[in-house]
Amino acid sequence: MRAGPTLVGRPRRVWLARAFLAVTLVWLVMLVAVPYLQAHQVGGHRVIALSAGTYLVGSAICHQRPERSFRLWGVQMPVCARCAGLYLGAAVGVVLVGAGRVGPDATRAVTPALRWMMLVAAVPTAATLVAETLGWLPSATGWLRAVAAVPLGAAVTWVASLVIRGEVV
């Protein structure tokens, strides 16, 4: 009997899914912990290196504009408000899918439904982008930008987790 796609490399997929969960959650924790550590001057050279590394990675994926970033404990986050919302959503998505089963009898997701879910999840973020571009919304509306990005972050990470687990091919 031939193994289906969900049976091929199951231990590897489980490991990858767990690693993806861990990396996603650690990144979100780092985005909050680094400003705290900076504000409270906690730690020594290792904390300084960790903070610098977090801001460096943040700069590779985000514009880090001060007027569009949250300040926690008086220190700018390593990413802007929209990215912070995306990563909060990513943590929600990876935890939700992580709570499900990984196995040969796991229900295979319907790809067209996932596409629609992704499209709908992107609407709030797209709406804020369009409103900012047209001047209808000030660019310094951090909380609105962050909240609008949460559904997209959750949807993208949820789908990526399903792909890693072999439930979507």
Q: What is the pLDDT along the chain (169 residues), one digit of tens a residue?
A: 444 444 446 778 888 988 999 999 999 999 999 999 988 887 788 888 889 999 999 999 999 999 889 999 999 999 999 999 999 999 999 988 876 655 554 456 567 888 899 999 999 999 999 998 898 887 657 899 999 999 999 999 988 988 888 877 6
- pLDDT at 154 (0 to 100): 95
The reply to whether 88 falls in a domain is yes
Total count of domains within the chain: 1
Torsion of CA 64, 66, 68, 74, to 10 degrees: 110
118 CB-contact burial (10 Å; exposed 0-12 / middle 13-18 / buried 19+): middle
Domain range for residue 104?
10-165
pTM of the model: 0.83
The reply to whether 20 falls in a domain is yes
The reply to whether 2 falls in a domain is no
